[in-house]
Amino acid sequence: MAHTLDQLEVGKKGIITEFADEQAGCQLMTMGILPGSEVKVIRKAPMGGAIYLKTDHQQFAIRNTEAECIVLK
C-alpha cells in the first residue's frame, strides 16, 4: 500500500517511488533524494514539524509538509 514519508515511524525504512508534488520533488531530487532511494527516519525534531532522515550515506532534515510529498512503497 502506498504511503508517504511523514507516516513512517522513527527507525523505519521505505523506498521512494514518486513525488506527489513536482516542485518539492524536483528540489529534493537536486539534493540527491531520488525515486528508488531508500530512506530511513532517524528521529523527529524536538518540537515537531520536521524529520531527520537518512538516505544512502547522507543525513537530511525536511519538514513534515515536504515529507507528505514523498510517496513510499
- Decide: is 30 part of the binding site for another protein (CB under 8 A): yes
Query: Counting runs of H as helices and runs of E as strands, what totals does the chain give?
Result: 2, 6
C-beta separation of 50 from 43 below 8 A:
no
Least distance CB 37 / another protein (angstroms): 10
Question: Which segments within 1-73 are labelled E, that is strand?
Answer: 3-4, 13-19, 38-44, 50-55, 58-63, 70-72
Residues 3, 13, 43, 73: which binds another protein (CB under 8 A)?
A: 43
- Decide: is 5 part of the binding site for another protein (CB under 8 A): no
Size of the site for another protein (CB under 8 A): 33
Least distance CB 60 / another protein (angstroms): 6
